[in-house]
Structure 1
Amino acid sequence: MKIPGVTTLMVTVQCLEVGLNTLIKEATAKGMSDFVFVVYSNAMALCFLLPSAFIYYRKRGFLPITRAVVSRIFLLSMVSCCEQTLMYTGIGYSSPTLASAMVDLTPAFTYIVALISRLEKLNMKLRSGKAKSIGTVVSIVGALVVTLHEGFPLTSHRGPTHNIVVSGENLIPEPSDWVLGGFLLSAGSFCLSLVFIVKTWIIKDYPEELMVATISCSFVIILSSIVALIVDSSAQAWLLKPDTELIAIVYSGTFVVSLRSIVHIWACRKRGPVYVAMFNPLGMVISLAMGVTFLKDTLYLGSIIGAGVIALGFYGVIWGQDQEEKMVDEKNNGRCDSVSSSSSTAPLLQNKSIHV
């Protein structure tokens, strides 16, 4: 791969998000307001983004920002606020496992929206187009296998992985809450796909990742504060407790929201929205690996098969993306060669005419 740093950072972000989902579930079970959490986590992220932007742009400066770009960033903030609110609320009604499964729909949503908005081109005559399309479907199927099919256990630790254990208690939602949580998570996954699309739309015309992330985070704080005050205006909801709630806010703002915003915007500029969305199915594999390694969860055959299918589909999309980039580079090199050859032959023709 030409830019291994992109893949490394995307995998790191997925690992951080898996840990955040578990913290959110535990904090929600103790009474944390999801709407207030969005406000505080983005405020914490802004505390890191603002100094970083000041230091980074102090000497090099930044491109002048236009009203059109600000309007796009505001649209990004609205969609991002909806996505965070829907996802965190959905986790509260269901579980981190269901959240990982529903987020696996994001590549399909992103691919469809990218085709409609013409950010991606579907050419099934090329092997790269077939690889990306088939790889997207295969990754989603693999994620569903991990979630829905266990098979026989390969290790003998404690209970099934889908029973989320927090603070020694089995937090199994009611069926009605589970359905509502699934609906909220699916809506949040669609909003997440729109986030990737809008980020790509912005960064193509304004390639300043840190500035876009900082302004967007500021807008999200304002929008989420309005929503939180309307939904939950009690002063008790805004009081921070020195327990899991505070840990989740600090962790989210420091390691997830701020870093994720910059990495996603940068990766959208480098590789496009579909590439970024394809890392969401890996979250299921990472969650599985972390659960078996650190929480001693039981490892099932279905999980191994599903993880292998996800890896196969992910490789197909990455391979297709790489082939398309090679084709673009070859075309650009061909144009450069033709321009240089034409410019080099021009003096010869001129000299010939002079001799005649």
Structure 2
Amino acid sequence: MAGTVSLWRREAVFLTTMLATETASVGITTLFKVATSKGLKIYPFIGYSYLLASLLLLPSLFFTNRSRSLPPLSITILSKIGLLGFLGSMYLITGCIGIEYSNPTLASAISNIVPALTFILAIIFRMEKVTFKERSSVAKLMGTILSLIGALVVVLYHGPRVFVASSPSYLTSRQLFPPLLSSSNSDWLIGGAILTIQCIFVSISFILQAHIMSEYPAAFTVSILYTICVSFVTIAIGLVVEMNSPSVWIICFDITLISIVTLAIITSVSYVIHSWTVRHKGPLYLAIFKPLSILIAVVMGSIFLNDSLYLGCLIGGFLITLGFYAVMWGKANEDKKLLSFSDKDFAPLLLNSKNDQV
């Protein structure tokens, strides 16, 4: 009886931490959306946040990799991590721009096509094989098609409002959320297109990340170097883009500073939580929580941004979720077969990793 209670408590801890992580991830996009109305720009937001995140992760180097013999950190590996940092800054920038044009709900819905896009890229780079004789391959292929169709529905079909948010009187009177936060149909299309580009960057970075970890399997070291690269690349791009507006780099003690510090904390803490969860529950456990971000984004958007839910987002989100689970089911079945034929450790390709995504 005591063992059963202990098991339930352990499962409750995993469930609670994953729900908290997904809520925090969606929360930071919602917070960023609000902060942009206060003058926060994309480049200082990402640059400062990831620089702070790298400092928060730095102590981990003193507690990890002590008992492991690692290959030398060569120029080649550092160059690949630098490239990964460049890709990371690109998908973070495009993600923030996409959210500015649309809303966190659309961003959460479209982000679920990442496994499908990663699967397509893995076929192109010959890291995956498709055979119609295997149910797992058929499931991944059908899931990919469903996800892409769902993404098209979300972006191209707005539809009628299913849920109309009404902002509380005190929010309206204080004008905490001005009209800037609402999106027209054209903005919705632009935002959806940019968020799709972001997912392509994420998928490419997953491929590169898997390659880097196979050569240098030190997750914390790679993560710290990655966050530093993201910070410097984003700041460098921002200095060029915002050349005529040096004042954007001055952060006031308001919601803009809160957004930056929150992203830094979430980035570093989420990485630790995901590493701990993958170790004990496997990567698929992380993946099954991802579609919940759509529901969380809808709730947060209606409360804090006065966003409404449209039929197109509902239908598209449902199709993307079905496709997501189909791809992950197919991948999980392939992993089981490979594990049955080999006693070696196997690292699945489609890791749902958040040390990369906002």
User: Same fold, TM exceeding 0.5?
Assistant: yes
1:21 to 21, 25, 29: 29
1:190 to 174, 194, 200: 200
Deviation of 1:90 after TM superposition, in Å, equals 2.5
2:338 to 325, 328, 338: 328
2:341 partner amino acid: K
What is the alpha-carbon distance in structure 2 between the residues aligned to residue 10 and residue 199 of structure 1?
22
2:298 to 276, 288, 292: 288
In structure 2, the CA distance between the partners of 1:8 and 1:316, relative to structure 1 (3 Å rule), is farther
Deviation of 1:320 after TM superposition, in Å, equals 1.6
Deviation of 1:128 after TM superposition, in Å, equals 0.9
Q: Pairwise mapping of residues 1-356 of structure 1 onto structure 2 (< 5 A)?
A: 13-57=21-65, 59-60=66-67, 63-64=70-71, 65-142=73-150, 148=157, 153=162, 158=166, 167-170=176-179, 171-173=181-183, 177-233=187-243, 234-256=245-267, 259-260=270-271, 263=274, 281-290=291-300, 309-332=319-342
What is the alpha-carbon distance in structure 2 between the residues aligned to residue 256 and residue 33 of structure 1?
19
RMSD: 3.9
Deviation of 1:94 after TM superposition, in Å, equals 3.0
Structure with greater proportional helix content: 1
2:24–2:266 Cα contact (<8 Å) kept = yes
What is the alpha-carbon distance in structure 1 between the residues aligned to residue 253 and residue 342 of structure 2?
57
Count of matched residue positions in the alignment of Structure 1 and Structure 2: 320
Deviation of 1:297 after TM superposition, in Å, equals 7.4
1:243 partner amino acid: D
What is aligned with 1:337? none
1:29–1:92 Cα contact (<8 Å) kept = no
Percent identical across equivalent pairs?
35
In structure 2, the CA distance between the partners of 1:300 and 1:101, relative to structure 1 (3 Å rule), is closer
What is the alpha-carbon distance in structure 2 between the residues aligned to residue 74 and residue 7 of structure 1?
34
Which piece of structure 1 moves more, 117-126 or 211-220? 117-126
2:30–2:305 Cα contact (<8 Å) kept = no
In structure 2, the CA distance between the partners of 1:111 and 1:213, relative to structure 1 (3 Å rule), is same
What is the alpha-carbon distance in structure 1 between the residues aligned to residue 268 and residue 146 of structure 2?
29
Task: Show structure 2 runs of 5+ residues with no match.
Answer: 1-10, 168-174, 344-358
What is the alpha-carbon distance in structure 2 between the residues aligned to residue 181 and residue 294 of structure 1?
20
**TM-score, normalised relative to structure 1:** 0.74
1:140–1:310 Cα contact (<8 Å) kept = yes
1:196–1:277 Cα contact (<8 Å) kept = no
2:301–2:307 Cα contact (<8 Å) kept = yes
What is the alpha-carbon distance in structure 2 between the residues aligned to residue 94 and residue 308 of structure 1?
19
What is the alpha-carbon distance in structure 1 between the residues aligned to residue 285 and residue 119 of structure 2?
9
- SS of 2:342's equivalent in the other structure is helix
Deviation of 1:40 after TM superposition, in Å, equals 0.6
What is the alpha-carbon distance in structure 1 between the residues aligned to residue 186 and residue 306 of structure 2?
30
- SS of 2:129's equivalent in the other structure is coil
1:275–1:318 Cα contact (<8 Å) kept = no
- Whose radius of gyration is greater, 1 or 2? 1
What is the alpha-carbon distance in structure 1 between the residues aligned to residue 186 and residue 302 of structure 2?
29
